[in-house]
Chain A
Amino acid sequence: MTTSTSTSNNILEIKNLTKQYPGFLLDSISLSIPKGSIIGLIGENGAGKSTTIKTALDLVHKDSGTITFWGQEISSSKQIKEDIGVVFDGINFYETLTPAKTGKVLAASYSQWDSRQYSDYLQRFQLPADKEIKTFSKGMKTKLCIAAALSHAPKLLILDEATSGLDPVMRDDILDVFLDFVQDEEHSILMSSHISTDLEKIADYIAFIHKGKLLFCKTKDELRYCYGILRCRTDVFQRIDKSDILAYRKEDYQWDILVADKEKAKRKYKPCVVDDATIDDILLLYVKGEQIK
């Protein structure tokens, strides 16, 4: 997965996507999702993650750029929508419905709907089929949405903050469901989340959107094994090669500097400490820190 290399191996390709609102610009986003992979989309609130997803799904009209699923525009064929499962943050069914009635509505909507699989998921997630949704906790509602999204044999799952309402135990179970889903090499997941531990557990790639721009899209392993945080005093910070700095932030007694090659940084700036960088660390340094212009 990378930014915008066009091959038939990609399920979703976004090229130079631009969308402008008053006070916000989604600026020429290019992103592609290869088959069999999980992409984590991270960024601060208002960075443009949901706008990217909604534009891809044609819920928001793009100003320019191209978005293709399996090489076709989403509006060109109903089959494309059959193959995409989406879970938004929050339930989309009126709360007097029951999971059983919801299943009937979806069965009448999707030609690929698998009622048996839906029942299996309801059982697996311990959701009572005949209880009104309004009696469900937020976690149960999320599980219902995930069950619905997985029961029409999608090949691409798009999750917009979908796991945010779940407790850690249930989140872990759901993440296992997602990992099972991508065992089929034809399946992929695009997952926007603030819970970086979830992404660290399952994502293959991390795409970071900041202030409407895609800052990077890298493999999780590259971030985990190469990125580091160099911590040093002011006098050392002044001497650091600026080309080594991705972002930096002044703390009370030290400077935290995000570097792309922590081993190189360890060798080059020997007296300094270089720690591993978590996704949260990277996000915080980019968002709250500064970048060399």
Chain B
Amino acid sequence: MKGLILKDLYNISHNAKSMFFILLFFAVVFLPSSGTQGYMFTCTLLCTMMIVTTFTFDEFSNWTPYALIMPVSRENLVAGKYIVLVIFSAAGTLFGLLAGLIGTRIASNFVSVSGPADILPLGLTAIASLAVSTICGGMSIPLTFRFGPEKGRLLVLVSFFIPSIICYIVYRLLLILGIVLTDELIVLFLYCSPLLALVWNFAMYRISCTILSKKEF
């Protein structure tokens, strides 16, 4: 499985430069208005989306059948993608944190930088960003295994949209039940988000394994 991860990292390294400039551009655009927290969240989401790009590389090079003749199982292949997803998300969070802190410091000399810094500490934002991104990215993996990277590019939007819809529905339900979302409740929810991400991604992993086990190459 180490080989599968290494392959994705080598492949994506080719795109790293352009991603770096995109993230820098976003820093200029978003940092003054969203602060480090908002920027970190954006970076994590953008880097997470690169998981679909790895599928495009795989399809272009007809990699999957080759991977399956190596000493790896179909489950390993799926697990490798989830590990790469976490690596991408973590890299995005780390970059967002560092670039955000530096950028905010620089920007504060020229403009007033706002953001939810007083409500959410940086550590919590990092954890929540990782959790939310891997939930969204984790859903794009079975969709891409099932429909391929071309359609997957569109479906990645769906995979980022569906968790938002679910959150909105839960929010409305809570309102109906008369439960008011206080800041404390939101913070508690964000602290619990890694657990939710684990459960969600395990379910997505199992679905991906089922999809891949039926595929022929």
* A contact set with B: CB distance below 8 Å: 54, 57-61, 75, 78-79, 81-82, 84, 86, 88, 90-97, 101, 104-111
Contact = CB atoms under 8 A, between A and B. Distances in A.
Nearest to A145: B66
A59 B217 contact: yes
Contact of A96 (B11, B62, B71, B217): B11
11 contacts: A57-B69, A59-B65, A78-B71, A92-B63, A93-B63, A93-B66, A94-B7, A97-B10, A101-B10, A105-B10, A109-B70
Contact of A61 (B2, B4, B68, B216): B216
Contacts of B216: 54, 59-61
Contacts of A90: 62
B74 to A, nearest CB: 9
Nearest to A113: B3
B61 interface: yes
Give the top 10 A-B pairs by smallest Cβ distance, nearest first. A109-B3, A92-B66, A108-B3, A78-B71, A108-B2, A81-B71, A59-B217, A96-B14, A94-B61, A94-B57
Interface string B133-162: 000000000000000000000000000000
A110 B7 CA distance: 14
Which range contains the number of B residues in contact with the other chain?
A: 20 to 34
B61 A109 contact: no
A59 B60 CA distance: 18
A198 B72 CA distance: 32
Contacts of A107: 3
B28 interface: no
Nearest to A83: B71
A82 B3 CA distance: 14
Q: Which of A59, A75, A104 has the most CB of B within 10 A?
A: A59
B192 interface: no
B6 interface: yes
Interface in B165-217: 216-217
A105 B6 contact: yes
Contacts of A58: 68
B6 A82 contact: no
A104 B2 CA distance: 10
B66 A110 contact: no
Nearest to A77: B71
B61 A92 contact: yes
B144 to A, nearest CB: 16
Q: Which of B2, B57, B61 has the most CB of A within 10 A?
A: B61
A9 B9 CA distance: 42
A206 B7 CA distance: 37
A159 to B, nearest CB: 12
B71 A88 contact: no
B10 A110 contact: no
Contacts of A111: 71
A81 B70 contact: yes
A84 B11 contact: no
Contacts of B11: 94, 96-97
B11 to A, nearest CB: 5
A75 B58 CA distance: 22
B69 A86 contact: yes
Given A59-B217, A86-B66, A86-B69, 16 more contacts: A54-B216, A57-B68, A78-B72, A81-B71, A81-B72, A82-B71, A88-B62, A93-B63, A95-B60, A96-B14, A105-B6, A106-B3, A107-B3, A108-B6, A109-B72, A110-B3
A184 to B, nearest CB: 21
A101 B6 CA distance: 9
A81 B72 CA distance: 8
A48 to B, nearest CB: 14
Contacts of A95: 60-61
Contact of B70 (A61, A91, A110): A110
Contacts of B58: 94
Nearest to A92: B66
Contacts of B7: 93-94, 97, 105
A19 B2 CA distance: 33
